[in-house]
């Protein structure tokens, strides 16, 4: 077990060795990646936001066969079949559930009653306060450098605001990849770090090599925020598809959204009424416009094209700006060991006892 400064409240709460969380990236946070993270001493979240309930159940079971360590599950509380996924999480005694958009009090109450930690991701101090009011046990504060859906406030400014606003452990996300970053997060008052892009580029990640190479080729200035994927600000690696989307007309974007909605319906097995219910929940809770609501299905379908099918030029590549400083694909074990060694060395250099 890590000792001293690095043995934080996060380690105790999640029963993991090191204060490092692997976030739940869609199509990427598979049972193999989650288990690789957990077996290396970190804490991994399984991605279930695009899963049918039966697939989520099977994936939870598979993680449990690959590791004896605790792990978490991420899902969208408005997705079709969310109630069944909640039941699976509780039935298998998963350690934690993570979510971001449209939190539902009844689901949070069920998790709390079952002793499952609730760990939402936020991009503003006011959202952190609301999340704690709803029952959050730990907050992940993601700064604007983070990948996928993100805010505009840099991690260095957001993190101390969130730490000051809530009385639960806070985890820093957005721009982390090293032991120096871990120490910096702790100095700001966080109890650990959460990383997505850094774990996306590991040996256990299922990302095809052609797609990984597009990440390696990107600089920190090649990862803009766009609203043309699903109507919400999303940080992605600029590629041919993003350039096309940003120059498309409104009718062309609408047509693509309708195609994505049909593909999403087939993928999830959801009925039209379930999709409509989910879309209306998004519109109400996230205050989306009608066009944003119609575009919501774009992200999972277009991300799948790059992450599963291995055609990065035709898919979306969610990414933090940190991809511009990543140039290797280590195992989870070697990555986490490296980060912890760097953290220890940094603390020694700073003469922290």
Domains in the chain, CATH or no CATH each: 4-207+326-349 (3.20.20.70), 209-321 (no CATH)
Contact criterion met (CB below 8 Å) for 143 and 163: no
- pTM summary value: 0.91
Instruction: Calculate the alpha carbon distances from 172 to 126, 161, 337, 350 in Å.
Output: 16, 12, 19, 21
Q: What CA–CA distance (Å, rounded) separates 332 from 16? A: 14
Which residues, listed in sequence order, are joined to residue 118 by a DSSP beta bridge? 97
Which residues, listed in sequence order, are joined to residue 170 by a DSSP beta bridge? 139
For residue 326, the 8-state DSSP code is: -
Contact criterion met (CB below 8 Å) for 299 and 176: no
Element holding 139 (H helix, E strand): strand 139-142
Which residues, listed in sequence order, are joined to residue 20 by a DSSP beta bridge? 193
Tell me the two tokens of residue 199. Answer: 């774990």
**Residue 49: which of 273, 250, 293, 303 has the closest Cα?**
303
- Would you mind telling me the total number of residues written for the chain in this entry? 353
Q: What CA–CA distance (Å, rounded) separates 228 from 235? A: 11
Q: What is the pLDDT along the chain (353 residues), one digit of tens a residue?
A: 455 899 999 999 999 999 999 999 999 999 999 999 999 999 999 999 999 999 999 999 999 999 999 999 999 998 989 999 999 999 999 999 999 877 999 999 999 999 999 999 999 999 999 999 999 999 999 999 999 999 999 999 999 999 999 999 999 999 999 999 999 999 999 999 999 999 999 999 999 999 999 999 999 999 999 999 988 899 999 999 999 999 988 787 777 877 776 776 677 676 656 555 555 555 555 555 555 556 666 788 899 999 999 999 999 999 999 999 999 999 999 999 999 999 999 999 998 65
**Residue 106: which of 126, 87, 125 has the closest Cα?**
87
């Amino acid at each position: 077990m890590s000792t001293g400064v690095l043995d934080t409240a996060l380690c105790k709460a999640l029963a993991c060795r090191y204060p490092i969380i692997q976030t739940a990236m869609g199509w990427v946070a598979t049972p193999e990646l989650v288990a690789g993270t957990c077996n290396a001493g970190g804490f991994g979240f399984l991605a279930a936001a695009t899963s049918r309930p039966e697939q989520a159940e099977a994936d939870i079971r598979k993680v449990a066969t690959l590791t004896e360590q605790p792990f978490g599950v991420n899902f969208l509380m408005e997705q079709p079949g969310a109630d069944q996924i909640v039941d699976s999480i509780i039935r298998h005694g998963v350690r934690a559930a993570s979510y971001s958009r449209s939190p539902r009090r009844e689901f949070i109450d069920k998790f709390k009653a079952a002793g499952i930690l609730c760990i939402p991701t936020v991009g503003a101090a006011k959202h952190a306060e609301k999340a704690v009011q709803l029952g959050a046990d730990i907050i992940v504060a993601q700064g604007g450098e983070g990948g996928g859906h993100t805010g505009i406030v840099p991690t260095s400014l957001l993190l101390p605001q969130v730490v000051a606003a809530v009385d639960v452990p806070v985890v820093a996300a957005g721009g982390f990849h090293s032991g120096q970053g871990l120490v910096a997060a702790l100095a700001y008052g966080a109890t650990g770090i959460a990383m997505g892009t850094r774990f996306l580029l590991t040996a256990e990640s299922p990302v095809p090599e052609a797609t990984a190479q597009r990440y390696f080729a990107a600089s920190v200035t090649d990862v803009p925020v766009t609203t043309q994927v699903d109507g919400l600000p999303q940080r992605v690696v600029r590629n041919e598809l993003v350039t096309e989307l940003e120059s498309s007309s409104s009718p062309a974007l609408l047509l693509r959204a309708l195609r994505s909605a049909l593909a999403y319906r087939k993928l999830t097995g959801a009925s039209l009424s379930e999709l409509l219910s989910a879309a209306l929940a998004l519109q109400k809770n996230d205050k989306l416009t009608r066009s944003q609501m119609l575009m919501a299905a774009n992200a999972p379908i277009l991300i799948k094209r790059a992450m599963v099918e291995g055609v990065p030029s035709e898919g979306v590549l969610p990414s933090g700006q940190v991809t511009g400083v990543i140039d290797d694909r280590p195992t989870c074990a070697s990555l986490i060991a490296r980060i912890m060694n760097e953290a220890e060395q940094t603390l020694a250099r700073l003469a922290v006892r």
